[in-house]
Structures are given as structure tokens and as C-alpha cells.
Amino acid sequence: MKKKSIPTLFSPALLRLLGAAAIGFACMGAAHAQAPTILDELTIATLTPLEKDMLLNDLFNDLNKDDDDQQAHVWDNGSDKSHLVTVTYNFSNSGLTEHSLKAHACRDLKFIVTAGGKTQDLSRRTCTQDSGRWDVQGKDAAPVAYPPFLSDITVATLNAKEKQALIDAAENVLRDNAEGVASHWSNQGLGNPVPLKVSLAPSNTGAKPGSYHTCRDLTMTLEGKGGKQTLQRRSCENRTHTFDIVPGHEKG
């Protein structure tokens, strides 16, 4: 293998933005490996899975650390002449964009592949994903869509006061309770003569991909006139540091 480059410092603002990107790459895992990458568009040559991983790893590192318009990086698969694949790439026009309420780095990537006397141009604009990877490594999977927080309760019918009180209780549990420690809630005094008891416990605490925001599973077990029901929601902190169990819910 060989690769030539002139190491330079990236612009400080963009470097700070990308500081956590290496974590995203380290956590790619088998699920991410199946996402189509820039190399799945390659038609003039075939690279082994190991060669693809090595090239994408080098590309990821260089996208994060190198400045624009530097001498091109040259990568090859170290094969003999008949199976030699050479890739030349460099970057330009770096900038920041915002989507999904997050700042993302974008760069123009010039990416030329040569093999068997043929050349293929795979150049394009590339941007970071929420996971910290670049979309040339494979775009992030679509986020899991959960039902609205109280939408599928079947053992009881909640009035407005009950709904608000249960939402507040759930957020307190997500914010304050230790892993696996349950809190108990009831609708007593909230204007509903039909009793309802609810147990709420957090679990599976972790970081939201590409951010420092906390995510937790909330297990909610309800006992009411209609019987017993268990529901689970994945909830993450939002920009106001409240949990997004209900869109727009911001507890003061």
C-alpha cells in the first residue's frame, strides 16, 4: 500500500466540529458496513472487503484532518499490474451546513479511480452524518419511528390533566432515576374516578449517535380497569436538555 499526502491542520472551527467523528467511525459495526458506500459505484475494478475498508478508513481520516486544495492523496491496492487499482483524491470548498437541527461539515471530494487502463470519476459533494461518518462511507439508517408517547394506551382513557401529569412523571424518571430504578404514578386527584397506576423505569442508557445527548429506554407498565399493559419508548435529550417523549414538550 502507498499513500502520499501533505499533512496540514484543518480549520479550527471545522476541526472542533469533527472532533467526535472518529467515534462514529469506530462504532460503524456490521449494520453500517451494509450501507452502500462510494465504492459500491465502482464498475471498472473489484476491491476486496478488506481493501474497501482500508481505503474508506484512509478517506475518512483525510476528510477530517486535511485542508482544502492540497496535493492529491494516492492510494493503491498493492496488487500486480494486471489487478492494480489506483485511487487519487483531494478536497476543496469546505463549509458548514445545517440539517436535522445539527451542524454538518461538507466538502467537495475529487475521487478518481484508475484500473486496467480505464478511469472512473466518482467525485461528489460529501457531508458528515449524525453518526460522525461521511455519507461517502454509507448514509445513516433512517431513524426509528416510535408511536406518540401516550397514543397506544388501551387499558385506560386519560383526560388532559392525567396526560400532562404522566408526561411530567416520565420526564422526571428519564432525567433523575438510576438505571432500572422504577417510580410509581397514579391518577388520584386528577379528575378521573377510574383508578390507574403506572410504573416507570429507565434502562439502556447511552449517547445519541454523533452527539453528547443522553438517550434512554423508558418502560411504562400500566394497570387500570382494562387490565395491565407494558409499553416501551426510546427517548433522547433535545437542545433544551429535556427529553423528546413528546414533540415540543419543554418543562421549565
Q: Model confidence over 54-98: pLDDT tens digits?
A: 999 999 999 998 889 888 999 999 999 999 999 999 999 999 876
Reported as a single tens digit per residue, the pLDDT across 117-136 is 999 999 999 999 888 899 99
Please report whether residue 147 resides in a domain.
Answer: no
Q: Are residue 113 and residue 45 in the same domain, yes or no?
A: yes
Please report whether residue 166 resides in a domain.
Answer: yes
Residues 223 and 155: beta-carbon distance below 8 Å: yes
Burial of 91 (0-12, 13-18, 19+ CB in 10 A): buried
CA-to-CA distance for 190 and 160, rounded, in angstroms? 9
Q: Are residue 170 and residue 99 in the same domain, yes or no?
A: no
Please report whether residue 146 resides in a domain.
Answer: no
Closest to 105 in 3D by CA, of 13, 234, 223, 214: 13
Number of domains in the chain: 2
- Reduced to 3 states (helix: H, G, I; strand: E, B; else coil), residue 52 is helix
Q: Are residue 101 and residue 175 in the same domain, yes or no?
A: no
- For the chain, 252 residues long, give each residue's pLDDT as a single digit of tens: 444 433 343 444 344 344 434 334 333 443 344 689 999 999 999 999 999 999 999 999 999 988 898 889 999 999 999 999 999 999 999 998 765 556 789 999 999 999 999 999 999 999 998 888 999 999 988 776 667 788 889 999 999 999 999 999 999 999 899 999 999 999 999 999 999 999 999 999 987 766 677 889 999 999 998 899 999 988 888 777 778 776 544 343
Q: Are residue 88 and residue 174 in the same domain, yes or no?
A: no
Q: What is the pLDDT of residue 213?
A: 77
Q: Are residue 81 and residue 40 in the same domain, yes or no?
A: yes
Please report whether residue 168 resides in a domain.
Answer: yes
Who contacts 84 (Cβ-Cβ below 8 Å, separation ≥6)? 76, 77, 115
Q: Are residue 128 and residue 177 in the same domain, yes or no?
A: no
Q: What is the pLDDT of residue 185?
A: 97
Q: What is the pLDDT of residue 211?
A: 67
The domain boundary, picked from 102, 137, 172, lies at 137
Q: What is the pLDDT of residue 242?
A: 76
Range of the domain at 45: 3-137
One-letter-per-residue 3-state SS of 138-174? CCCCCCCCCCCCCCCCCCCCCCHHHHHHHHHHHHHHH
Q: What is the pLDDT of residue 12?
A: 45
Q: Are residue 55 and residue 132 in the same domain, yes or no?
A: yes
CA-to-CA distance for 124 and 198, rounded, in angstroms? 52
Closest to 217 in 3D by CA, of 228, 229, 206: 206
Sheet holding 227-236, edge to edge: 183-186, 197-207, 214-224, 227-236
Q: Are residue 20 and residue 107 in the same domain, yes or no?
A: yes
